Structure formats: C-alpha cells, structure tokens
Amino acid sequence: MRPLTATIRLDHLRHNYQQARAAHGDKTLAVLKANAYGHGAVRCAQALADIADGFAVACLEEAQELRAAGIANPILLLEGVFEAGELQAVDALDLWMAVASEEQLAMVEAAAPAKPFNIWLMLDSGMHREGFLPQDYQAAWRRLEASGKAGKITKMTHFARADEPDVPMTFSQLEMFDAAMRGLPAGEESVANSAGILCHPRAQRNWGRVGIALYGVTPLPAGVGQDADLRPVMRFASKVFGVRELGIGEPIGYGDNFVTHRPTRVGLVACGYADGYPRRASSGSPVRVDGARSRLIGRVSMDMLTVDLTDLPDAGIGSEVELWGDAVSVNEVAAEAGTIGYEALCNVKRARFVYV
C-alpha cells in the first residue's frame, strides 16, 4: 500500500472549535465547505455535532451530503442558491441560506416554501464579490420582510483583509456595516471570519464563522491576534521508498533546477503534486524525516518528491516524512510555493485518510 496518509485528529478539531467560540464569545458556525478544507466534511461534522452551533457550506450539494449522513445541526449555504429549483430542497432540508443578489432575492420572493426561510442577507461592505451595496441593503431587507418568505433575517458581511491587522480596511468595513444597519429592526449579525474572531474584537457579533482556524491553521502573521492555542488537525505524511547516492554536480529531477554541491543522499518520497503537495514548492521547503528537519531538493513530480538525507545517516527506506502537520506548518510549505495553506489543504487527495 502506498504509504501516503492524511491523519485527521478529531480531538484537535473539537479543541479548535471550542477555542474559536470562546474567542468570539457567542454562537459560531463551523465552516465545512470544500470538504471541510480537505479534511472530510462528514467526519468533521460528526465530530463537532454535539458542540457546534451550526455549520456553513458553500452550496446545496455540500449541505445535502451532511443531511444524508444524519447531521441535524443548522446548516448555512454561504453562496445561497444558484437557481430557483434549489429552494425546494432548502425548504425540505431545513437549511439556512445567504441572499446576496437581486436574482436570489427575486427567487425567494417568488417561492412558495412550506415554512419561511432563514435568510442571511449579505452586505457588500467593500470586498465587491457579492452582497447588496450599502445604498441598496435596507430596501432588500424590507422586501424580504414584506414578502413573508423570510422567518428570520440575519445581517451579514465578509471581510476582505482581516488577516492583515495593520490595514485599516477592516475597520472601514465595520463602520460601513454598522451604518447600513441603522434604522433596521434589531436582529442577529454575523461579520467575523477566522481572522476577525482572532484579531478584531469589534467584529464579535452574534454569529462568528470559523473556517481555516477550525483546522488549526492561523490566518494571521506570527505573533498577531489572540493566542488561541490552535492545533493542526491534518498531519500529512509519507515514507521514503528509495535512496540514491549522488556525487557533486549531479542534477535532481525535472528541469535540472537543483544540482548537488556536495556528495548527497537523496530520499525518494511517495507524494507528488497529484496528491496535493504544491508543485511550485521550491528546493529548501521544509520537511521532517524521522523527526529531524530536512528539506525538499529538486522539483516536485506528479507522484513523488525528493528530500535531502545527507545529514541524516540513520534515515533510509521506510523513514517517515512529515510534509506538514506538527513540526512543519502548512503555511510554511505553502509560502515556499507562492500560495496559501488553505489551497494546500483543499488539494489533498489520493492519500489514505485516517481519523483518530
């Protein structure tokens, strides 16, 4: 059996949720979109079901998967529905949904649900992806109220740069949000994502939405925000399956972009970009071999990568290689590849998932 594993520590997941909820100080949705950021949505939902105030997913298909697995907690569709025909399933499965456009609002107005929908009405406070502009928001809210199709309306926005604490945009978005809500009846609000929960106390409204931090990955620069004691949920690891002894001046891998400058022991590791390890990870990207720090050398191939064993004389075939997890941060690996930890986690596949 190929030795690549993604070990998912469900106790870490529960710990991180509880830490985020405590930091937020109120109800918190656990965001399970994109298959729980690559961790397995159903297994993560089952592990959190007894403590989570609710879950959030991107689309109806993700919510249907959770309901089919017996998950009864509230589930929010962060992107709402894409066509009117989905509203019947939203009603039948008792889902909550975002309304973020005129088209979605019109679908709700034209619907005939068995019971009023639970709506999260999105304000575009500056990110400019989705949501009603401030000058249009109150009219949208009043249309929902007048339609009789919304049993509850939660006011919502999303931050663009909350993970950059020194950038004033988050404060501007909060001010815009508060201004847009003036004059509307009191009701629940949701503005804080992971970075908002950890770094922006003013964003701590009725509902937080914890995404990347749920999986033990900080969205913030080192030393910034609350010390939430996040614990990495995924440990991505494989083993050395071959060793090569090379002299000075020998190329390794595609493109000859790494050439040995000393006699070098090269370990072949069963993981490549087809498994989710970033193809653009550069030579020098950190790994741990039997607990000792080492580095990637040469380009990442589809099915394997190569690591430096020169200074690890006891390492060899069968040695464990931690690609990220406890001693190696996924953010560190992602930075070496010019991407972010979110993408690296979401891309993991073809590994054997082990839930503990």
Which entry of 115, 137, 215, 254 is annotated as an active-site residue? 254
pLDDT tens for 188-224 read 999 999 999 998 888 889 999 999 999 999 998 765 5
DSSP letter for 13, please: H
Q: What is the mean pLDDT of residues 245-267?
A: 96
> What local confidence, expressed as pLDDT, does residue 201 receive?
83
Which entry of 33, 149, 155, 239 is annotated as an active-site residue? 33
Over 80: is that where the pLDDT of 227 sits?
Answer: no
DSSP letter for 270, please: S
Question: Tokens 């609350």 label which residue?
Answer: 226
Confirm or deny that 302 is annotated as ligand binding. yes
Confirm or deny that 129 is annotated as ligand binding. yes
> What local confidence, expressed as pLDDT, does residue 220 receive?
85
Active site residue 33: yes
The residues, ordered by sequence, that sit 6+ positions from 241 with a Cβ below 8 Å of its Cβ are 3, 268, 269, 270, 317
> What local confidence, expressed as pLDDT, does residue 192 receive?
93
Among residues of the chain, what percentage have pLDDT more than 70?
Answer: 98
pLDDT tens for 165-190 read 888 999 999 999 999 999 999 999 99
What is the token pair recorded at 332? 């560190």
Task: Report all structural domains of the chain as residue ranges with CATH numbers, in order of start.
Answer: 10-215 (3.20.20.10), 234-355 (2.40.37.10)
> What local confidence, expressed as pLDDT, does residue 226 receive?
55
pLDDT tens for 41-53 read 999 999 999 999 9
pLDDT tens for 109-149 read 999 999 999 999 999 999 999 999 999 999 999 999 999 99
pLDDT tens for 301-350 read 999 999 999 999 999 999 999 999 999 999 999 999 999 999 999 999 99
Q: Which of 279, 282, 252, 250 is nearest to 268 (CA)?
A: 252
The Cα–Cα gap between 18 and 294 comes to 34
Identify whether the C-beta of residue 57 lies closer than 8 Å to the C-beta of residue 75. Answer: yes
> What local confidence, expressed as pLDDT, does residue 222 receive?
61
> What local confidence, expressed as pLDDT, does residue 204 receive?
86
> What local confidence, expressed as pLDDT, does residue 7 receive?
99
pLDDT tens for 66-93 read 999 999 999 999 999 999 999 999 999 9
> What local confidence, expressed as pLDDT, does residue 147 receive?
97
